[in-house]
Structure 1
Amino acid sequence: MADLSVDFANTVYLRRGRTQDAIGDPEGLADWLRDRRLVTGGDDASHTDVLRLRDAVRRLFAALAEGRSPDTNDVAELNVAAAQAPTWPELRVDGDQTLLLHHTHATGRRALLADVARDAMRVIEAATTHPLRRCAAPACVVLYHPERASQRWCSSACGNRARVARHHATRRGAPAPPT
């Protein structure tokens, strides 16, 4: 699976030029969680808490992708969410197998939000070696990790749409859309 926090941030996307929110209502959130086999029960964190963290993660990742400094309020939101479910490691050795397990007393959505926040921190920390970019296609807002340095689009479909838009613009004599 892709980074949990990047997937979480990308729950806002464009479809036919209109902004969509996959988790904008409680039913959408339940579907998103179920589709990813994540916690679906527990109402220890409100839907508003979930959206507030998602929006903070999106803004932090956008700042990262655009080379801007992150907003201190968004950093604080991430820190608060991560602290809601303290974890501790446990090392288990069974013969020649070694397992590192992580435990928490938190359950439900609080634990999920803490996992998302910690994953976002990891993505931000690793950005120098594993950058995060915003898709350069005109009608896309997806954040992604490029597979190669020259990659400009999140998918081949976005690349094709951008090239087609540029082709149509040049045939009409209009300036090509930015890509």
Structure 2
Amino acid sequence: MERWLPLELASTVRHDGDGGVTDDLATVEGTTRWIQAQADLLAAHVPVAEVAADEDVRLRVIELRQAVRALFAQAVSPAPPSPADAHRLMPADRAMTHLNTVAASEPVAPQLLWPASAVPSTRLLSAEKDPYVRLLAALARSAIDFLSGPQREQLRSCTAPRCVRYFVKSHGRQEWCKPSCGNRARAARHYSRRRTAPEGGSVPS
């Protein structure tokens, strides 16, 4: 399954399995683990093995996550956003300004790559020496690319009970982020129908 860096960032807020919500970025150590887990997605932008978060980096990643989740909420509208932060979303205009500002913090230039007998491609060459600036800028640019690309049209907020994830719909009938959420949602619907069915009546399938 394809992974998108902005979705990975948004999903650091997730259901904890016990009816609550956990935050993978709640500590400096957790933030470092999350960054290093994205090594494959960040390899072209920053040497992840050399990056260890401190409290300032943690808070900056969290602020960027707030901006991304606010813009995800706007993208899925008029459907409801993730319930994890629906009551305290960053205003969309502020989120967009923050995203653009962080993306612009790293000076980059496109470079043409054209090996013999191969299709030409491009890469961004950075003039920034600070790996933490490069990290945050890469996260912001990935969100800009995602929100301005075709994936945005397929972005959904999972409506399964207790789930707080966003996901990209991969086929026409997909309603939930993963099969376990679908099973939980169907069970909840069945329970709700049983509770509201007339006494002695049958429950529709």
TM-score (norm 2): 0.75
1:61 matched to 2:72: yes
Q: Residue 101 in 1 paired to residue 103 in 2?
A: no
**Structure 1 residue ranges without an equivalent (≥5):** 175-179
1:113 aligns with one of 110, 114, 136:
136
> Which piece of structure 1 moves more, 97-106 or 18-27?
97-106
The Cα of 1:47 is off from its aligned counterpart by 1.6
1:41 lines up with 2:51 in the alignment: yes
Which runs of structure 2 are paired with 1:112-151 in the superposition (5 Å)? 112-127=135-150, 130-151=153-174
Larger radius of gyration: 2
Q: Secondary structure at the match of 1:81?
A: helix
**Cα contact 1:132–1:145 (8 A) shared by 2:** yes
CA distance in 1, matches of 2:102, 2:30: 21
Q: Cα 1:67–1:165, aligned 2, differ >3 Å: closer, same or farther?
A: closer
Q: TM-score, normalised by structure 1?
A: 0.85
CA distance, structure 1, for counterparts of residue 8 and residue 193 of structure 2: 35
Secondary structure at the counterpart of residue 94 of structure 1? coil
SS at 1:111 equivalent: helix
- Structure 1 runs (4+) greater than 3 angstroms displaced: 42-45, 127-130
* RMSD of Structure 2 on Structure 1 (CA): 2.3
- Aligned-pair CA distance for 1:131: 2.2
What is the SS of the residue equivalent to 1:88?
Answer: strand
State the partner residue of 1:84. Answer: 105
Task: Quote how far apart the aligned CAs of 1:99 are.
Answer: 4.0
5+ residue gaps, structure 2: 43-47, 80-90, 198-205
Percentage identity across paired residues of the two chains: 33
What one-letter code is carried by the residue in structure 1 that aligns with 2:8?
A: D
Q: Does structure 2 conserve the Cα–Cα contact (< 8 Å) formed by 1:65 and 1:132?
A: yes
Q: Secondary structure at the match of 1:136?
A: coil
Deviation string, structure 1 residues 84-137 (Cα, Å, up to 9, x no partner):
112211112221133422111224222121111111112221258742110111
